[in-house]
Amino acid sequence: MSITIAMYSHDSVGLGHARRNRAIAHALAADLPRLTGETVGGLLIAGHPDAARDSLPAGWDWLVLPGFTHTTAGYAARRMSLPAEQMSALRGATVAAAVDAVSPDLFIADRHPFGVGGELTEALDLLRGRPDCRTVLGLRDVLDAPEAAGREWDAVGGAERVAEAYDQMWIYGDAAVYDPRRTGEIPAALAAKGRTTGYLAHGRPDDDGAPAARPYVLTMVGGGSDGAHIALASALSEPPAGHRHLIVTGPQMPTEDVARIREAVDRRQESSPGRGGEPRVQVLRSAGNVPALVRDATAVVSMAGYNSVAEVMATTTPALLVPRHTRRAEQPRRTAALAAIGALDSLPAVELSPQALTRWLAGAVNRRTPRDQVDLDGLTRVGGFAAELIGAARTTPTEVPAHA
């Protein structure tokens, strides 16, 4: 026999949702065959074409939907000239056709239980009619301020509706550090279905990429769509003595912002060339081997998105997080929780400057930051969680629907 997994992420801003699913796909591909004795393959359904740049295990593939972007007025088509409602209908029909064709044993949706504009509703209705399929809603460690999270649950029909659609909820964090069930971000009707995995940190997939010449410090801003202010401040900061500074802008940073950062680096190089004329600051658009770059850096400056933080937490590299302070309270709340236990340092965006980064980097390169106090082994647990669900589905009598 074989096991088929389908995973969904909406991907309107950044690549965090798709990359979280991709990390889980690699973990399931590694562990489920050992746990079940069966081969495993799957389909990752994503909403941004850049997601498909990342490799998948053998037997897995990407399905990239027409894209949404998030605007001040709500969701809008990224490229197509279609109203949001028609985009949701197009994407929903595509997802439903895909899950009908692959007939998954397990379906995992990241963060948005019914997708954009309810686009997952048809697919979930289809899967609920199949007693041999289980459904999981995956949530990051922090959602938002409790009142904002409550409004989002209400907007999709309430926690009870979500609980009817999903068999389990996996929370990708350490409840001893931050538990969204205790803060009120997850309603009581859903909390009973929740299982914390630990952060998806150790064992993240690491694609090939050129290693950086050591020693170096690193700045990374996730997908890059709203990280130009951090990358520019890093470009204007002074690298610690004897160090190079590697800045990864992310593939989604606007080209005009990348140009400004490169111009700042060029001006600094002209006024203060490195030894032998070598550039002291290097700007990369993207890198497939970010986990390795973080591990080998002497210090890292980063935004506080889930995946960036997970990559940092898997190492002992000192880290300074500059959380996004717009749209959601997610990043400041995550940063505060981890800073409170000494796992990293934080800098509010309003205090960001080249001088502040210069001071922090100069001290950080002389130390390491152990993070043994945090549960970072989520990727080693999801295989066991999945095996339990799939096994339970296969032992459910066919005349009793699994979701009854």
pLDDT (tens digit per residue) in 93-120: 999 999 999 999 999 999 999 999 999 9
Ranges for all domains in the chain classified under CATH 3.40.50.2000: 2-202+377-395, 216-364
Mean pLDDT: which of 69-78, 272-281, 366-375 is highest? 366-375
CA atoms within 13 A on the CB side of 147: 0
Residue 403 has pLDDT above 80, yes or no: no
The rounded Cα 113 to chain-centroid distance in angstroms is 16
Distances (CA, A) of 238 to 214, 296, 367: 16, 20, 18
pLDDT (tens digit per residue) in 179-204: 999 999 999 989 999 999 999 999 99
Q: What integer best gives the mean pLDDT of the chain?
A: 94
Placement of tokens 């203060």 in the chain:
272
Cβ–Cβ under 8 Å, residues 28 and 16: no
Cβ–Cβ under 8 Å, residues 87 and 77: yes
Residue 163 has pLDDT above 70, yes or no: yes
Q: Which residues contact 346 (CB under 8 A, 6 or more apart)?
A: 304, 320, 321, 322, 323, 335, 336, 339
Backbone phi and psi for residue 377, each to the nearest 5 degrees, phi listed first: -105, 30
Measured CA to CA, the distance from residue 311 to residue 333 in angstroms comes to 18
Residue 10 has pLDDT above 50, yes or no: yes
DSSP-assigned states of every residue in 27-96: HHHHHHHHHHSSEEEEEEEES-GGGGGS---TTEEEEEPPPEEEETTEEEESSS---HHHHHHHHHHHHH
* pLDDT confidence of residue 404: 41
Backbone phi and psi for residue 342, each to the nearest 5 degrees, phi listed first: 80, 20
More confident position, 326 or 263: 263
DSSP state letter for 399: T
Backbone phi and psi for residue 145, each to the nearest 5 degrees, phi listed first: -55, 140
* pLDDT confidence of residue 400: 47
Provide the strand spans (E) within 235-340.
Answer: 244-248, 281-284, 300-302, 319-321
Fold of 2-202+377-395: Rossmann fold (3.40.50)
Confidence of residue 263 (pLDDT cuts 50, 70, 90): very high
Residue 216 has pLDDT above 90, yes or no: yes
Confidence of residue 273 (pLDDT cuts 50, 70, 90): confident
Fold of 216-364: Rossmann fold (3.40.50)
pLDDT (tens digit per residue) in 385-398: 999 999 999 886 55
pLDDT (tens digit per residue) in 280-294: 999 999 999 999 999
Confidence of residue 274 (pLDDT cuts 50, 70, 90): low
Confidence of residue 1 (pLDDT cuts 50, 70, 90): confident
Task: At 120, list the tokens.
Answer: 């997952």
Beta bridge partners of 75: 70
